[in-house]
Chains A and B, each alone.
Chain A
Amino acid sequence: MSNTASTAIVRKTALNAAHRRLGARMVDFNGWDMPVEYPANVQRKNGGLIAEHLIVRSSVGLFDVSHMGDIRLHGPQALGAVQHMTFNDASKLAIGQAQYSALLYDNGTFVDDVIVHQLGENDYLLVINAGTREKDYQWVREAAKGFDCVVEDLSDNYTQIAIQGPNGWRTLQKLTDADLTAVKFYWFTHGTVCGLPDTLIARTGYTAEDGFEIYIPSDVATSERVWNALLAAGEEFGVLPCGLGARNTLRLEGALSLYGHEISDKITPWEARLDRFVKMDKEEFTGKDALEKQKGKGLERILVGLEATGRGIPRDGYPVLDPQGAHVGVVTSGSPAPFLKKNIALAYVPPLLSAEGTELAVEVRGQAVTCKVVAIPFYKRPRPAKAAQ
């Protein structure tokens, strides 16, 4: 049994003590001391990564995602600034609506992916990744120069809690006066949550399930109060606190990109198969020219989903092989999928090998484990014919 070395821990969210009290196994994630899972113990009979993953698919799970960043742009030319720095079309948003988008460098590769929320007239909130907070903020400030708007880093102002799963809305509804059934997916509202007025309540998430994310004041007392209230409210639904381990396996089943893996400063949206979010009919945005050029040239690699057909688990960074054993690509994210009960991976391969059904292999510590290309997402949440809300 090998032991892993631990690195110096830099930052903690307001819920750090709460996680430790719950017996969370902690890990350093991009300089943040975060829970990776909450193992079962005498006080909580159900727990651990697999249990957490499954409860989100079947009922409700709670995630502390306060390490994510928040940048607000507001002012007379805020929309112009957002349009300039993102690849999706923010002019299509209504107040109260959000969209998946990304910040690109001039060469068309990713600074970060982002959820853009329209808070009000010329008032936008960008929610960005934890590992790229400072880089993004500097880049956004630079990109906003020349536009009459204010750029504010609000990341430390908020504790962000995700309540994910089919019973997520029922759990949160018990604590808010906002009518959650009126909030459509990828829309948000403001309401009182646990007595906190004007709280941002968004129907967004990173789990490929229905659910909400709330943004509350980041002081420890408030954060713990709300976290504990959510755990109590969700008890009848079997709620579990969920860590970054389950967060990763849930988003992987949904084929959602993770910065540093499927998207990075070496990858373009075409390669990452995010075409549907890129609005090339926008007059201009950073990286547009480079994307046009790449579209003309054609791609050398493209993102695919792989499912292991042999015995073994493809993992991040493992080489992808063609049937002759030649290295043709790389796994960006790979893991057992707790709900699908298969071993799956996202990987970059040449377009010629990207058709569904293509037989490939992944080199797992010296051994070739056969895989096949499958459609992504691997998992889609069931949608009832009539919304049961």
Chain B
Amino acid sequence: MYFWEIIMAYPPEYKYTREHEWLAVEGTTGTIGITDYAQNSLGDIVFVELPKVGAVLEAGKTFGTVESVKAVSDLYAPVTGTVTAINETLATSPEKVNSEPHTAWMVKVTLANPAEVEALLTAADYEKFVAEEQ
């Protein structure tokens, strides 16, 4: 890390994946977004492609894309579930993913298999993982 980079804390109550998605769980609802590390790597985000309500996400498979000016990046589902809501504001304000990555959620799903959550990384594990990536 260069000393001048602002390091955003990773919410300890979230879970994380090695593909840089976060998952917040409340009961059987999982909320999914991408991490500060991800948005920083991408640069200015200009477009977010999300599935429709009712679509089924499969853990480990792609469920949409996020685009910067230069590149298209796949989004990988942290868990299996059915989409119950998508964040419509990202259609007009994709830059929110850059400015507030840990609150600019992308999709909400009803978890098909809550046990999958245990296999995800804790905030501490994820911080260690990104430190090694750099």
Contact = CB atoms under 8 A, between A and B. Distances in A.
Interface of A: 1-2, 4, 23, 25, 36-37, 39, 41-43, 48-50, 245, 248-249, 311-313, 315, 335-336, 338, 365
A315 B21 contact: no
Contact of B69 (A2, A39, A311, A336): A336
B46 A336 contact: yes
Given A1-B19, A1-B66, A338-B69, 8 more contacts: A1-B76, A2-B76, A36-B70, A41-B6, A42-B4, A248-B70, A335-B70, A336-B46
Interface string B59-93: 00000011111111111100000000000000100
Top 5 nearest A-B pairs (CB, nearest first) are: A42-B4, A1-B20, A2-B74, A41-B4, A1-B19
Contacts of B41: 1
A1 B70 contact: no
A245 B70 contact: yes
A4 B42 CA distance: 11
A41 B5 CA distance: 6
A37 B72 CA distance: 16
A194 B20 CA distance: 46
Contact of B46 (A4, A25, A248, A313): A313
B67 A313 contact: yes
18 contacts: A1-B19, A1-B21, A1-B38, A1-B41, A1-B73, A1-B74, A1-B75, A1-B76, A2-B74, A23-B5, A25-B43, A41-B5, A42-B5, A48-B43, A49-B68, A49-B70, A335-B69, A338-B69
Contacts of A365: 65, 72
B23 interface: no
Given A49-B43, A50-B44, A315 B2 contact: no
Contacts of B6: 41-42
B104 interface: no
B28 interface: no
Nearest to B74: A2
Contacts of A245: 43, 69-70
Given A41-B6, A49-B44, A249 B73 contact: no
B34 A1 contact: yes
Nearest to A43: B4
Contacts of B34: 1
A2 to B, nearest CB: 5
Contacts of B47: 312-313, 336
A123 B3 CA distance: 49
Contacts of A335: 69-70
A357 B131 CA distance: 51
A261 to B, nearest CB: 14
Interface in B14-73: 19-21, 34, 38, 40-41, 43-44, 46-47, 65-73
